[in-house]
Structure 1
Amino acid sequence: MKASSGALLAAVMAIAAVASTAVAKDYTVGGSYGWDTYIDYDKWTAGKTFIVGDTITFKYEPYHNVLEVPETDYDSCTASNPFSVHSGGNTTFELTDAGTRYFICSIPRHCLNGTMHVKVTTVPYSASAAAAAAAADAGPSAAPLPSAPADEQHKSMSPAAAPSTASSAPRYRQPAVAVAGLALAALVAMAA
């Protein structure tokens, strides 16, 4: 019985680990507008709860870039000491640790004009953080993205079709219940 208890505990822990990573969400920075000069990224991050395991994806035109920088470079909009430099139009960062990370575009005046910089604060995974993230996605209090000035709108965007800040992707659907269900299934399977 002792050996089967150890195996059961190992199985439950493995299931819990897999289930906790299965609830991660990918955020597209700036929503459907992406990484561009006319988005207020402070408004975009407002009301969002980024959880360890989530990812953020920057989608941008070839004339932009994305640099992860220390806070001092973020505050001064300089790229003197970047942690990483990316180009190519599609860059994803996994949020692996709790804390704040800082991103800028180093093209002249893109950060200095007050827009192409974003800080993302990530919290550890917990049931309460997941619930807060789910509530933020579902609630009407999420901060909407601003409309682009008429002279800066992309030709492919219709001014009448404002992007939604809510994602249609599954989001933190009661992970504790999912883990408990998987653990129960493992118990039943091992008992049989």
Structure 2
Amino acid sequence: MKSNSGALLAAVMAVTAVASTAVAKDYTVGGSYGWDTYVDYDKWTAGKTFMVGDSITFKYEPYHNVLEVPEADYDSCTANNAVSVRSGGNTTFELAAAGTRYFICSIPRHCLNGTMHVKVTTVPYSAAAAAAAAAADAGPSPAPLPSAPADEHKATSDAGSSPAAAPSTAASAPRHHQPLVAVAGLALAALLAMAA
């Protein structure tokens, strides 16, 4: 009886590990176009639901950069109070808490020309929103803007880090924690049934 319980518990733990990583999404900012001067990022974010536990990845040429900035700097395309400065062509930000985050490229005119700025609003995880987000993935990728790319100066920046995430509540728990609770409940019920 004990060996069956141990095997069941091991199986449940394996399923939990797979389920916990399968539901979090990583969005490539700009889709196949990446982070560049000819993408309309308002169109790219339209219809997407970013949830706690997801991540966003910026893929870009080395002459660009990614700055996380406060809303006021986002609105004015300035880098005076950057929260984080990243460069290198491949940058990922974890969406660890609900709220809105603002990102720009600080190369002259790349944000000011109307592109290379994106705001991402993260909502608490919900199964219904996750299903809707999965359905939205079938949508088309963003169309490039008709204008030519802005000037292409090489960027120099310091590496930084994102601010620490606020503690999660049950309602804002990352996507990968939600299935864990459900699977743990099923495992407990199965173990109790076997023990009876």
Q: TM-score, normalised by structure 2?
A: 0.69
| Structure 1 residues 151 and 38, CA gap change in structure 2 (3 angstroms) | closer
1:146 to 138, 143, 147: 143
Superposition RMSD on alpha carbons, in Å? 3.3
- Structure 1 position 69, deviation (Å): 0.1
| TM-score, reference length from structure 1 | 0.70
Match of 2:186 among 165, 170, 184: 184
Aligned length: 158
CA shift at 1:81, angstroms?
Answer: 0.4
Change in CA separation of 1:144 and 1:115 when aligned onto 2, cut-off 3 Å: same
Q: Percent identity?
A: 77
* Higher RCO (CA 8 Å, separation ≥ 6 residues): 2
Matched with 1:41 is: 41
Match of 1:158 in 2: none
| In structure 2, C-alpha distance between the alignment counterparts of 1:24 and 1:70, rounded to whole Å | 25
1:42 CA displacement: 0.2
Match of 1:53 in 2: 53
Aligned match of 1:69: 69
Tell me how far apart the structure 2 counterparts of residues 151 and 117 of structure 1 sit (CA, whole Å).
17
Amino acid at match of 2:186: L
Q: Deviations over 1:113-140 (max 9, x none)?
A: 00000000000011222122122224xx
Quick check: 1:43–1:144 contact (8 Å CA) kept in 2? Answer: no
The residue number in structure 1 matching 2:121 is 121
Q: Structure 1 residues 151 and 111 mapped into 2: Cα distance closer, same or farther (>3 Å)?
A: closer
| Residues 27-77 of structure 1: per-residue CA shift (max 9 Å, x gap) | 000111110000000000000000000000000000000000000000000
Aligned ranges 1:23-38 → 2 under 5 Å: 23-38=23-38
Counterpart AA for 1:135: A
Name the SS of the counterpart of 2:128 in structure 1: helix
8 A contact 2:40–2:145 mirrored in 1: no
Q: Distance in 1 between matches of 2:36 and 2:86?
A: 15
User: Aligned partners of 2:145, 2:97: CA distance in 1, in Å?
Assistant: 33
Distance 1:127 1:105, change over 3 A: same
- Equivalent residues of 1:21, 1:53 under 8 A apart: no
Q: How far is 1:184 from its partner? A: 2.3
SS at match of 1:121: strand
